[in-house]
Structure 1
Amino acid sequence: MSKTFYIETFGCQMNAHDSEKVVGTLEQQGYAQVQDEAEAGLILYNTCSIRDKAEQKVFHRLNEYKKMQGEGKRFAVIGCVAQQEGEKIFDRAPYVSIVAGSASYRNLPGMLERLERGDQRITGLDDKKTTETFETPFVARTNQHRGYITIIEGCDKFCAYCVVPYTRGNERSRSAASVMEEARRMADSGYTEIQLLGQNVNSYRDPSGAKSFAELLHAVGTIPGIRRVRFTTSHPRDFTRDIVEVIDATPTLCDHVHLPVQSGSTRILAAMAREYTREWYLERIAWMKAAKRDISMTSDIIVGFPGETDEDLEDTATLLDAVGYDAIFAFKYSPRPNTPSVSMADSLSDEVKAARLQILLDRQREIQRINYQRHIGQVVEVMVEGHNRQRNQVVGRTSQNKTLNFTTAQPIMPALGSYQMVRITQAFPNSLLGEAQAAL
């Protein structure tokens, strides 16, 4: 097996950051990353099990490439599907050599040594309680200006539909001191934006008791060189008023909060075991609407949960109106292995779920069309993320996490990672258009 590797990542930002850890470790062990699986000696799939048929998609992808086994290639399935399916992966895909969950990536060097010796079935599983997963000595960050820091792993909420507690384990928080140390290293290396990550990032509990989540946000935001701090994903049950207060008080904290509601129906929220009501959620929204800063709000929604009626759907639709989200990520319900909802009667057809999903998406698109119009005429700061040379535009992102494409009168496009002041001239449901004012 040649010491080259190809990695494909599915799922959330935490998976993306996990892949950065895996890539860094592989490179430290002398492996070289390639961009084509045909050139790789080791092919890794970093998997996600949140959505419907995730494991089938993984096996389908593996089946596509099993012919490469004869070329001396080796395969690894890592991440949430690996933790969920375990050694059954070896039975269904005997050409796979490594099955490893996210908490075992620190053991990758030993797994790679075994792989190079010719071992066929190498596992890294059932290690979901360790806090050593936070130690990331080798991280190959893919973006040189924005970087991720995982501050909490796992979940204790056990929502009826969610597989995360079974694949990522219970909540384990990293010490505030180690978070600050990594954030300072990143700032010293030229990073200007940091995103704090966790399945429930605001459920963070400093093991030393030194800092609350809000205090940690403020501390990271005051590190010299850091211009933006984001955090995702928050859980409503642990969303406290001091989070809003610290956003108001700390200019470097981005004015955007992603607060998944999942349903606007109190009855369905109870069935989901979310342990809050519609009114309780809307109280948190009211805190943000009363803030001094204009805080952009986004959310996740599940459509077609077992027992959902037309009235429950309407409750969700009216919640969209009441909140006025700037974006939602909405999905059809699908049963996941080991979760309580697996035993619930799922009486809605896929066609009904799809129709209900479209109702919400149409409603939300109109809300976004109106929301984005309010930005016309504003001058905002954007971080440059790319260049669209065909349109002669610069691609940027605002503090509110909105895409803002803009033109510039300068002969040279602004550098990636730089910051520009842009006047917004047009608005669309999912993006903004503007003209550069002056470089910062």
Structure 2
Amino acid sequence: MSKTFYIETFGCQMNAHDSEKVVGTLEQQGYAQVQDEADAGLILYNTCSIRDKAEQKVFHRLNEYKKLQGEGKKFAVIGCVAQQEGEKIFDKAPYVSIVAGSASYRNLPGMLDRLERGDSRITGLDDKKTTETFETPFVARTNPHRGYITIIEGCDKFCAYCVVPYTRGNERSRTAASVMEEATRMADAGFTEIQLLGQNVNSYRDPSGKMTFAELLQAVGTIPGIRRVRFTTSHPRDFTKDIVDVIDATPTLCDHIHLPVQSGSSRILKAMAREYTREWYLERIAWMKAAKRDLSLTSDIIVGFPGETDADLEDTATLLDVVGYDAIFAFKFSPRPNTPAEHLADSLSDEVKSARLQILLDRQREIQRINYDRHLGQVMEVMVEGYNKARNQIIGRSSQNKTVNFTTTQLIMPATGTYHQVRITQTFPNSLVGEALAAPGRVQ
């Protein structure tokens, strides 16, 4: 087997960061990353099981490339589908050699040694309680300016529809000291933006008892060289007012909070086992709207949960109006393996779910059009992410996590990772357009 590898990542930021750990470990073991499956000796799929038919998509992808097995290539399925399906993957796809869950990546060197010796059924499973997953020593970060730090793994909430507790295990937090050490190393290496990650990031509990989540946010935000701190994803049950207070008090904490609601109906929230009501959720929204800073609010919504009526859908639609989200990520309900909702009677057709989803998306688009209009004429600090040659625009992102495309009168295009003051001259429902006010300069 050639010591080259190709990795494809599905899913959330945590999966993306997990892939950075896997890539770093593989490179430390002497493997070289390639950009095409045909050039790789080892092909890895880092999988996500949140959405409908995730495992079928993985097997379909594997089936597309099983012909490459005859060329001596090896396959690995890692991540949530690997943890969910386990050794059944070997039965369904005998050409797969490694099946490993996210808590086992620190053991990859040993798995690779076995692979090179000719072993063909190598597993890294049933390790969902370890805290050692945080200390993966090798990380190949894909962005030299913005980086992820996982501060909590797993979930104890057991929402009726969610597979995460079964694939990622129980909640385990790393010590605040180790988070600060990693964040400081990143700042010293030139990173200016850090995003703290967790399935329920604000459920963080410092094992040493020294910091609350809000205090950790503030501490990371005061590290010299750090310009922005983000966090995702929060759970309403553990969202406390001190989080809003510390954002108000710490300029480096970004003006954006993602707080998934899933439904605007208290009846459906109870069926989902979310353990809060519409009113309880709106109290947290009121804290954010009372903040001194203009906070951008985003959320996740599930449409068509078993038992959802037209009245429940209207409750969700009116919640959009009340909150005025800057963006939502809305999905049709699909039963996931091992979850309580898998066994609920799902009486809604896919056509009805699709129609209900479109109702929400249409209403949200109008809300976003109005929301984005409020930025017209404002000056925003924008971090450069790239360049759109076709439009001759620089692509950036604001503290509110909004895309800002802008132009500059400077002859030299600003470098990726630099920050610029941009006046907003045009608005769209999903992006802003502006003009840079000052000459570009590298962040020191």
TM-score with structure 2 length normalisation?
A: 0.99
Query: Which residue of structure 2 lines up, in the alignment, with residue 144 of structure 1?
Result: 144
Amino acid paired to 2:369: R
Map 1:28-177 to 2 at 5 A. Answer: 28-177=28-177
Whole-Å separation in 2 of the counterparts to 1:342 and 1:25: 36
Which residues of structure 2 form unaligned runs of 5+? none
Whole-Å separation in 2 of the counterparts to 1:248 and 1:4: 47
Whole-Å separation in 1 of the counterparts to 2:29 and 2:267: 52
Whole-Å separation in 1 of the counterparts to 2:373 and 2:230: 24
Amino acid paired to 2:308: E
Whole-Å separation in 2 of the counterparts to 1:388 and 1:321: 34
- Note if 1:180 corresponds to 2:173: no
Per-residue CA deviations over 1:51-82 (Å, capped at 9, x if unaligned) read 00000000000000000000000000000000
Partner SS state of residue 417, structure 2: coil
Partner SS state of residue 411, structure 1: coil
Query: Which residue of structure 2 lines up, in the alignment, with residue 391 of structure 1?
Result: 391
Query: Which residue of structure 1 lines up, in the alignment, with residue 266 of structure 2?
Result: 266
Per-residue CA deviations over 1:370-414 (Å, capped at 9, x if unaligned) read 000000000010000001122111000000000000000001110
Per-residue CA deviations over 1:406-437 (Å, capped at 9, x if unaligned) read 00000111000000000000000000000000
Whole-Å separation in 1 of the counterparts to 2:137 and 2:384: 28
Pairwise CA RMSD of aligned residues? 0.4
* Over 4 Å off, 4+ runs: none
Whole-Å separation in 2 of the counterparts to 1:420 and 1:388: 17
1:336, CA displacement in angstroms?
0.1
Whole-Å separation in 2 of the counterparts to 1:136 and 1:70: 33
Query: Which residue of structure 1 lines up, in the alignment, with residue 346 of structure 2?
Result: 346
Whole-Å separation in 1 of the counterparts to 2:343 and 2:113: 42
Partner SS state of residue 223, structure 1: coil
Task: Judge conservation of contact 2:105–2:136 (CA < 8 Å) in 1.
Answer: no
Query: Which residue of structure 1 lines up, in the alignment, with residue 412 of structure 2?
Result: 412
1:136, CA displacement in angstroms?
2.3
Partner SS state of residue 330, structure 1: strand
Whole-Å separation in 1 of the counterparts to 2:343 and 2:391: 52
Query: Which residue of structure 1 lines up, in the alignment, with residue 298 of structure 2?
Result: 298
Which residues of structure 1 form unaligned runs of 5+? none
Per-residue CA deviations over 1:161-183 (Å, capped at 9, x if unaligned) read 00000000000000000000000
Q: Percent identity?
A: 88
1:137, CA displacement in angstroms?
1.1
Whole-Å separation in 1 of the counterparts to 2:288 and 2:72: 56
Amino acid paired to 1:348: L
User: Number of paired residues?
Assistant: 440
Per-residue CA deviations over 1:319-369 (Å, capped at 9, x if unaligned) read 000000000000000000000001110000000000000000000000000
Whole-Å separation in 2 of the counterparts to 1:389 and 1:187: 31
Partner SS state of residue 275, structure 1: coil
Per-residue CA deviations over 1:129-183 (Å, capped at 9, x if unaligned) read 0000000210000000000000000000000000000000000000000000000
Whole-Å separation in 2 of the counterparts to 1:433 and 1:380: 11
TM-score with structure 1 length normalisation?
A: 1.00
Map 1:163-312 to 2 at 5 A. Answer: 163-312=163-312
Whole-Å separation in 2 of the counterparts to 1:146 and 1:316: 34
